[in-house]
């Protein structure tokens, strides 16, 4: 999931990076990377191997989690590269935005699927 999100974020950053400012680019790259990583995870992990919960019918809570993850993770990635200094290309902004969004989405999915311990 993380590799797919980083790759898709780099592709989105490279394709549309020159046309918009970096904050909007990061959010868009993170959103597209998060959605594609969830789809690839669902198709590869569940459909091919039969391991993991069946997420084919995605609940509305996970859609909201995806939006939160894409905005928060993308802007955190952009801020990370801004604080690092240097002249980074738009591919790097897309990569870090996709990676940050996927990490946050993974944590939110773990929280969603975690069941409380029986008493």
Q: What pLDDT, in 10s, does the model give residues 28-60?
A: 999 999 888 888 877 776 667 766 665 566 667
Which tokens belong to 28? Answer: 């868009």
**Is this model's pTM higher than 0.85 or not?**
no
Q: Parse the chain into domains and list their residue ranges.
A: 2-113
Q: What pLDDT, in 10s, does the model give residues 49-96?
A: 766 665 566 667 777 888 888 899 899 988 998 899 878 889 999 999
> pLDDT class for 110, splitting at 50, 70, 90?
confident
Contact 23, 78 (CB under 8 A): yes
Q: Can you tell me the mean pLDDT for 110-119?
A: 73
- Alpha carbon distance 63, 50 (integer Å): 23
- Alpha carbon distance 1, 105 (integer Å): 10
């Amino acid at each position: 999931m993380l590799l797919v999100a980083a790759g898709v974020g780099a592709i989105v950053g490279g394709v549309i990076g020159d046309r918009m400012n970096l904050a909007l680019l990061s959010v868009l790259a993170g959103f597209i990377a998060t959605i594609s990583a969830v789809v690839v995870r669902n198709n590869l992990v569940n459909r091919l191997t039969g391991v993991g919960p069946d997420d084919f019918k995605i609940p509305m809570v996970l859609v909201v989690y995806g939006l939160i993850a894409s905005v928060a993770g993308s802007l955190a990635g952009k801020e990370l590269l801004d604080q690092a200094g240097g002249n980074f290309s738009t591919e790097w902004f897309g990569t870090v935005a996709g990676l940050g969004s996927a990490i946050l989405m993974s944590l939110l999915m773990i929280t969603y699927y975690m069941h409380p311990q029986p008493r």
